[in-house]
Structure 1
């Protein structure tokens, strides 16, 4: 089968489209014929060697955690799913024609494979950081870098829970944030004062890693009220860096429920062919997304 892999850590140029043997579903796992794979910042962070402690891997390695596709192999002990089912979830080396999933859920009716591939990691992350930052209904949450996949999920889940959200993003994404139920303002010079004019901040999330942690601490008054998923230097500021996933099956089940009820929608901003995975990583690292990027198989 074809997959995207790399034999050394480095820039996007280390990625190769290669022929390898297809994996098989072991106990408690399923294999899917991948139709689309989600592109996440953790993908290029792993490729660059930034995540060796959290995600130790053996080289050469494949790429990708999220995917949607058609079940074609069910491992021992797995119940409730069979060949031919359409599922989305998290797994191993998902930029490939076939991939093994470790957690999955049935795709909600009407959701395309491309859309479904964009949900797993971002929804798990969104649910986790909302929980970890301790924000409650009636309080106000500031989201720095709010227009990407995780931000899009955070805004909608927070809205569903009765949490007021202020989001920062580029000028082109202001209406997008407002459409997701947030108050919006641009980043750049004077952004702290613009946020203050919108309301008092009870908690804050750093989703972009753009060096704003001191400002987020000042706005909340306490580093313990700030969580980052993008700034590896967060602990130096007394801020928690959130990088360890919670229950992915529970997150997928909640995502499926929210999607089915029309309470969660993350658009696909850009699609890439499997051979263009390097371009997907370059664009992901550049940021400024509105929704999700996916690799089409």
Structure 2
């Protein structure tokens, strides 16, 4: 699969000018990101674009936030996504970008009440395209450069069928008389988005089920893990698993059963013990 790599601000500016010169008003788009799996934090790692004829890979790690904003907030381009909510949230949290003119094809699937919601399932049902083998890249490190060419082909696979899928889904929506429901659904996907910085762990039923004291302990442990992971640029989960946070919050003395050579290196193990000691005072 051939594609053009966009890895400078000027190249991205030229791409937008090319769309305008060729009267391209709609592009298919998808993101690949890093979500505290291989390093600390959430990062936009790749933008895949298909204009109906040509494919492009935009490397956001080499593009300025200004030009990313100019592209993603452009009112000149309709952007076809499938399952755009997490992508929308990522660029807002990372760059305060509010993507403009997004059409999320998952909304079509929702109003049609199709049995499978994943893109592979929908492509198979609607376009008879067999599902791709995605297991190899489900936990891929998209921060790594250079990017594996095979991974880039995998990533582009999520955009090259979106135009055909849009036409097929739109026809079904119209035939079923669901245009009003689709319009309402599209508006509901992207309400006035305001980033809530509250860590997701504090919103879980497991956290709410803790007593007040255990919640205080978990918050202290979480803050220590987050700050330490940021300093080491490592995944917080790799430093101290979420399940262990809850175990220690419920029973701080269980730290004695941890083996530093397996769970933490000796220095971090001593830091963890110190955190728990201060909480218990």
Taking structure 2 as the reference length, the TM-score comes to 0.25
Relative contact order: is structure 1 or structure 2 higher (C-alpha 8 Å, sep ≥ 6)?
A: 1
Q: Which has a greater percent of helix?
A: 2
Structure possessing the higher radius of gyration over alpha carbons: 2
Taking structure 1 as the reference length, the TM-score comes to 0.24
